[in-house]
Amino acid sequence: MVHLTELLPGSSSSSSPIYDVFLSFRGADTRNRFTDHLYNALLDAGIVTFLDDEDMETGEPLKPELESAIKSSRASIIVLSKNYASSTWCLDELVLILDQKMNSKQIVIPIFYDVEPTDVRKQQGSFGEAMAKHKQKMEDETDAVKRSELAKKIELWKMALTQVANLKGKHANNNRKETDFIKEIVTDVHRRLPLSNALQRLIGMEDYIKSISSWLTDGSCHTADIQTIVGIGGIGKTSLARYVYGLHSSEFDKCSFIERINARCQESYDGLRAIQKQLYEDISKKTPLQFNDVIEYTSKIENVLVRKRVFIVLDDIDSLGQLNSLLGNKGLYPGSKIIITTKDASLTESCALFDSQVHHNHTQVSLNGLCEYQSLHLLCIHAFKSQNPKEGYEDASKELVKYCEGHPLALELLGESLHKRDISYWENYIEVLKKEPHSHINKAMKMSFDSLQFKNDKELFKHIACFFVGMDRNVTETILNACDINTRSGITNLIDKCLIRVGQDNKLIMHQLVQEMGRDLVRQESPEKPWKRSRLWCHEESLKVLKEKKGKGNTLGLSLDMRMLDKKKLYGSSELKTKSVSLMNNLMLLQLNYVHLNGCFGNFSENLRWLCMHGSPLKFLPSELPMENLVVLDMSYSNIESFDMSYNNPQPPAKRQKGFNGSSSKDKRLLESLKILDMSFCEQLRSVVI
């Protein structure tokens, strides 16, 4: 008895699979038809597939690269066509594949393409003819050694054909639509493969995949369900939707995956109509029709949706107009499933579909990023092509993971940028990231900002990004409402766009990469001259502007915390002059923590709404400080000894410039605008007069 592993030296499996699937096929039979279509479908589903580019064989042994590819694959698909057995390469591949199945648990899926399993099993029909030719060639061989080797090979081939025919496979024939058959194969591969290269981009998504798969296969036939996947750009919405679509699309009568909807609408004036055409053709499968306007297409689409059980993914929806044009308002056929990916959490519930008489269930999935372990795993896959950091790169890897805050796209881009770079390059790269964001990451973050409809919301976002991340929502609203910003609706809109979140402690939370994007928007107002920007949040830049007295009237907010600066850079900078602040005569938001200010406070901006002076050495607030419009005063951790809610009404600016400093009891007035006073941890405080 000849064993399958005989004549196969070094047949052990590769320890690190490279491919998800190896495609074994007879080129002359199926390359330009079925196999090419199957190959492209596997790639579209994110399944890494090996396909040999050469059709001609020379009678030589199996090429080393083919042998290596088989050993480096998790699964093999064998397309058994009429002339498969006439190829010695195909037969050698088959023997090695079955060896991998036995020794390395490789998944093997035979496809009987216009052949009967019985013909393969018993080597009859075209398979019998092919084996007879191989036997005749063996008998014609005059070299005894070669004849003996060929006889052993023929025995191996016959055993392999019998074994593969006994495996559970898939039968293609003229009665089946090829597209449906290929979808079935792709679905089967997805289900049988473990998490692999096809899922490397979806690290940390396993629970989402299980949840959405359960939702898609819940068997509900009386209702139509819609699920919205929400998150910031690059968080994995499209990848997740594409994966579950590849997994389950074959289970529905009609299906369609429409990608990059908002981008395509922006790229072309006719973009939405082209998308409608694609959707209509996908779900109707009728002769393509050409309509002149969006309304006609919407009517045709909704007529199909009410009659067919469909599975549709609408990726990157950005407006109600897009959603209503693609789904209409007549309703969905029971059992249909719609997945919508968007950066706007409020869109789906507002669409016209929910005004129809048909009941639709709606659920929402929010993607918030990966945990630290998953982030490190993803970074390492792209940077080192392994699951762990390279020796000597551990600290730098952890720093990048912290910087990315679980954002998959950022981890992928940075990992790819640093692949094969030495550690000094990594360290310099990280220093650059601290000063300016990665352009591609920043572009992904900015899409949500660009979709904001109102200037009010954009200004609110920039204020929060620069000064109020981590601050109580109510306090922030109090401050910014006084700055003529509508915060109640504005913050709701920012939450809907996934630009901010509110924690359980009511504090504003913003992803670090989103915050960097917001600050970069302000930075671009004047990249090289920070004193010309509307907001100064970088402590080093704020200190420099104040030291050099370069403040301008266009500055609305400034933050400086001496504790956040390198002590070496602070030499000779512990004291600043009030004049440097007075130059910013439109300042509304001012944070000067642990700052020593000398001089007259009388020319500070009358527009101040928020004054925060943690750790101030002042024992009393200067009487000349204009506080008539102040709504929040925070003197926590300061040396202040007493505070009086009535204050000396400052002289008008003209009198201040002329040197009028006196005041009388008649000038005393209450701080009527002040709503929040914080004197926490002021150990010297003795009295507060209200």
Catalytic member of 93, 302, 516, 624: 93
Label residue 301 exposed, middle or buried (CB < 10 Å: 0-12, 13-18, 19+): buried
Q: How far apart are CA 90 and CA 79, in angstroms?
A: 10
Amino acid making up residue 213: S
Handedness of CA 181, 186, 190, 193 (dihedral sign): positive
Residue corresponding to tokens 């990469």: 513
456 phi, psi to nearest 5 deg: -55, -45
Q: Are 589 and 565 in contact (CB under 8 A)?
A: no
Q: How far apart are CA 254 and CA 163, in angstroms?
A: 36
State the DSSP code for 472. B
Q: How far apart are CA 305 and CA 283, in angstroms?
A: 8
Q: Give the helix ranges, DSSP H, for 405-499.
A: 408-417, 423-435, 439-450, 455-463, 473-481, 487-496
Q: Is 6 a catalytic residue?
A: no
Strand partners, 596: 575
Strand partners, 108: 76
Strand partners, 317: 342
**Residues 606, 610, 616: CA angle, nearest 5 degrees:** 100
Q: How far apart are CA 105 and CA 17, in angstroms?
A: 12
Q: How far apart are CA 550 and CA 583, in angstroms?
A: 8
Pairing of strands 632-634, 19-24: unpaired
Residue corresponding to tokens 């994966």: 243
Smallest CA-to-CA distance from 497 within 445, 438, 441, 439 is with 445
Q: How far apart are CA 128 and CA 274, in angstroms?
A: 52
Label residue 45 exposed, middle or buried (CB < 10 Å: 0-12, 13-18, 19+): buried
**Residues 410, 515, 238: CA angle, nearest 5 degrees:** 40
The overall longest dimension of the chain from CA atoms, in Å, is: 125
Active site residues per annotation = 93
